[in-house]
Amino acid sequence: MLELDHVTRSFDRRTVLNGISFTVAAGRLTGFVGSNGAGKTTTMRIVLGVLAADSGRVIWRGAPVDRAARRRFGYMPEERGLYPKMRVKDQLVYFGRLYGLSQARAAQQAETLLSRLQLADRAGERLDALSLGNQQRVQVAAALVHDPTLLVLDEPFSGLDPMAVDAMTALLRARASAGVPVLFSSHQLDLVERICDDLVIIADGEVVAAGPVDQLRSERAGARYRLVLDDDAGWLRDVPNLTVLDVDGPRALLELSDPATDQQLLSRALDRGPVREFSRVIPALADIYREVAR
Amino acid sequence: MTQLIDAPENIRDAEDTSRQPSSAEVIRLVAGRDISAKLRDKTFIISTVVLLLIVSLSVIVPLVLERNDSRPTFTVAVVGTQAQAAAEAAREAGAEAIRKADAWAEEEDAADPTQAGPAVRDSEAVAPPARLSVRPVTDLAEAERLLRTKDVDAALVPGSGGALSVIGFTELDDDLSRLIALSVQSQNLTTALAASGTDEAEAQRLFNAPLPQRLLDPPPPNEEVTMLLGIAFAGLFLLTSFSFGLMIAQSVVEEKQSRVVELLVAAVPVRLLLFGKVAGSTLLALGQVALLLAVGLAGASVAGQSAAVTLLLHSGGWFLAFFALGFGMLACAWAAAGALTSRQEDLQATTLPMQMLVMIPFFVSVYVTDPGRWMTFLSYFPLSAPLSMPRRLMLGDAAWWEPILSALGVAATGVVLVLLATRLYEGALLRTANRISLRTAWQGSRSAARPEGDTSPV
């Protein structure tokens, strides 16, 4: 498990991270969301040791992280980059060796990854001879070549087509299933909502929300309900202690002034005829995000 | 990518097979990558081959030309037995002169080139060294025809009254006419002396007796070769440290521009990355210089220039040692100059101070060529020591401990420059502005890229 404990960082007296704390649990996909300049990349760089924190701690498996532990982290920087003129397999072997693998082990890992990524026949080619999509795959392979114990990916979905998004999702899911904590940042909230287990939202260098996605959503769900009847729902306007937000024939969206009165409303509706749908409206991630990151 | 849904291999298994790479290993890996990338670079290969060709040609061609030039070959047409005898005598005198000149050159080569030459030596043989071939013809008309068709260079014919005369076509070579004149005179004198009762062999000996010569202040032998080699060494140093220095800076910018640097910094300590890059380029540069020296050496021995060979063997090692130190001294600074920008286009500006640091000592040391206070100063000043100390060694101007002291000075300066450059490199490496000021880089290194809990040994 990775834990950030009151990490701060400023650049030229401008505070970028103001004491952020959150955890990335083993076996879970944690989405990291925030607007541009909120501090996502800085946080990830501090986790990887590319930048130093001004204060606060990064804790890995219960102890402050050191270089030996970081050597086992896998990282995909936001600014993608490998050596353009280097051969694909040589490149992966090189990074594998920098991470401490033996030559034989690094070569074996590179081959395995390339064949899984369907790039086995391109192994001997220079990186710049590959299409951008394939270069992105090699970048992923470079993050995975040493079977990392923690995976940190900065915007792994940016620039991917829908098929590649599915493949990347499967890949992250597979790593998480193997017990690896996975932290990734993204702008695509619908995507994060769909695939994440946990969520960390930061705004202006502070964590404004963190926890399991379902829990965050239900916590922020108010007393908003959707009601679908057979007949016109206009009579709801005369019911006390509720506000009708919208009525469209038999469909209505309303807000109770006291959520505990939901069952009373339901029995009242049933008295008037069949009820086809009565459900609490859980806000989408985008709504929560807009609310907390405002 | 769809294939990646299968679970990764057992993590535990990987953990067992990977371990913390040592600093030396990281440096070796980084250096190895840079070297192999360079050895696959077509531009680098072509420029090296061209350089080798230039060096070998510039060693061999002038020597071959010079040698042929000082041993000219002539054909002489002769009419009559007296002319033939005189021409044969001239041929032998010319051949003897060549033998003497060769023996003299070898004797000089064999002497320690750093010591002054012998104070006394024989004067040059009286006859000029030349290869003559004699071609008997029937009459004057035939001789003139051969002269006009340039089949012969001169004709020796009996003139009116039996005295021999030399005929040329449009001109007569000085050496050739002197050779023939000497032999005709010698023939005439010998005949006259024999007629007056003097022994013929004694007459010959008297005629060819050399005149001993002596110089009060003889110049060091091979002065020209020493001078040329000194300039060649300086040129080689300038060219190589310039091109490889620029190469280091370019490779740093390439890593910044291609963004690979963030991944590298996440994997290894920044200093090891810098040292690896510097080690790789220094090895490549040294390899190229050693290769060029070897080609020069081989060229010089093929061309029979044993003086140059002796000098190269004597001072080449010191030159290599000083080259390694001098290049290493500046290599880190080249890397820092590269880190101060993010685009190849701006490299010219950030490496300008480095270019000056290489260029100015070169011109000064090429200008100061005579032993003296200035040269002694230059041979100790760290930036010019790699250029001037090998020259003083070639001239025999330095005591055995002087190159060692000077090398220590270069090494100490190198350490200081490495420390400064490392800090700038660390501070500037992750900044992506087009140009990073020295001040920003200097202050940046305090917080960037040096993670807390960094337990790496360097």
CA-nearest of B152, B137, B135, B132 to B92 is B132
Q: State how far the Cα of A155 lies from the Cα of A184, in Å rounded to an integer.
A: 7
Q: State how far the Cα of B185 lies from the Cα of B166, in Å rounded to an integer.
A: 13
Positions of chain A with pLDDT lower than 50, given as ranges? none
Q: State how far the Cα of B411 lies from the Cα of B393, in Å rounded to an integer.
A: 19
Interchain contact A5–B (C-beta under 8 A): no
pLDDT score recorded for residue A78: 81
User: What are φ and ψ of residue B166, in 5° steps?
Assistant: -105, 135
Give which of B30, B260, B436 to mutate to test A binding, by max A Cβ within 10 Å: B260
Query: B180-219, pLDDT tens digit by residue?
Result: 888 888 888 777 887 887 777 777 677 666 677 777 776 6
- Kindly list the residues from chain A whose CB atom is less than 8 angstroms away from the CB atom of residue B267: 71, 95, 98-99
A with B: how many residue pairs have Cβ under 8 Å apart?
A: 155
Give which of B255, B257, B263, B271 to mutate to test A binding, by max A Cβ within 10 Å: B263
Q: Which residues of B293-324 are buried (b: 16+ CB within 10 A; e: fewer)?
A: bebbbebbeebbbbbbbbbbebbbebbebbbb
Q: How confident is the model at residue B343 (pLDDT cuts 50, 70, 90)?
A: confident
Q: Residue with structure tokens 């270089």? A: A67
pLDDT score recorded for residue B409: 92
Is-contact B426 B448, C-beta < 8 A? yes
Residue type, A78: E
Residue B438 has pLDDT above 50, yes or no: yes
CA distance B39 to chain A (A): 12
- Give me the interface pTM, i.e. the ipTM: 0.78
> Is B33–A94 a contact, with Cβ atoms under 8 angstroms apart?
yes
CA–CA distances in Å: residue B432 to residues A40, A152, A171, A224: 18, 22, 31, 48
pLDDT score recorded for residue B227: 76
Query: B70-122, pLDDT tens digit by residue?
Result: 678 889 999 988 888 888 888 888 888 888 777 776 665 555 544 444 444 45
Interchain contact A177–B (C-beta under 8 A): yes
Sheet holding A14-24, edge to edge: A14-24, A2-11, A55-60, A63-64
Residue B456 has pLDDT above 60, yes or no: no
pLDDT score recorded for residue A284: 78
- Long-range Cβ contacts of A284-289 (<8 Å, 24+ apart): A284/A189, A284/A190, A284/A193, A284/A217, A285/A33, A285/A189, A285/A190, A285/A192, A285/A193, A285/A199, A285/A213, A285/A217, A286/A189, A286/A190, A286/A193, A287/A220, A288/A201, A288/A209, A288/A216, A288/A217, A288/A220, A289/A33, A289/A189, A289/A201
Residue of B nearest to A148 (CA): B11
Q: Is A256 helix (H, G, I), strand (E, B) or coil?
A: strand
Q: How many residues does chain B have?
A: 458
Q: Which residues of A192-226 are buried (b: 16+ CB within 10 A; e: fewer)?
A: bbebbbbbbbbbebbbbbbeebeebbeeeeebbbe
CA-nearest of B375, B388, B221 to B311 is B221
> Is B258–A102 a contact, with Cβ atoms under 8 angstroms apart?
no
CA distance A198 to chain B (A): 20
The more confident residue out of B453 and A15 is A15
Give which of A11, A50, A130 to mutate to test B binding, by max B Cβ within 10 Å: A50
Could you tell me if residue A159 is left (phi over 0), alpha (psi between -120 and 50 degrees) or otherwise beta?
left
Interchain contact A144–B (C-beta under 8 A): yes
pLDDT score recorded for residue A176: 92
Cα dihedral across residues A137, A141, A143, A149: positive or negative: positive
Report pTM.
Answer: 0.72
> Is A66–B11 a contact, with Cβ atoms under 8 angstroms apart?
no
Q: What is the mean pLDDT of residues B375-398?
A: 86
Q: What is the DSSP letter of A151?
A: E
* Nearest CB to B7; choose among A51, A166, A174: A174
pLDDT score recorded for residue B432: 66
Interchain contact A128–B (C-beta under 8 A): no
> Is A70–B20 a contact, with Cβ atoms under 8 angstroms apart?
no
pLDDT score recorded for residue B111: 54
> Is A75–B263 a contact, with Cβ atoms under 8 angstroms apart?
yes
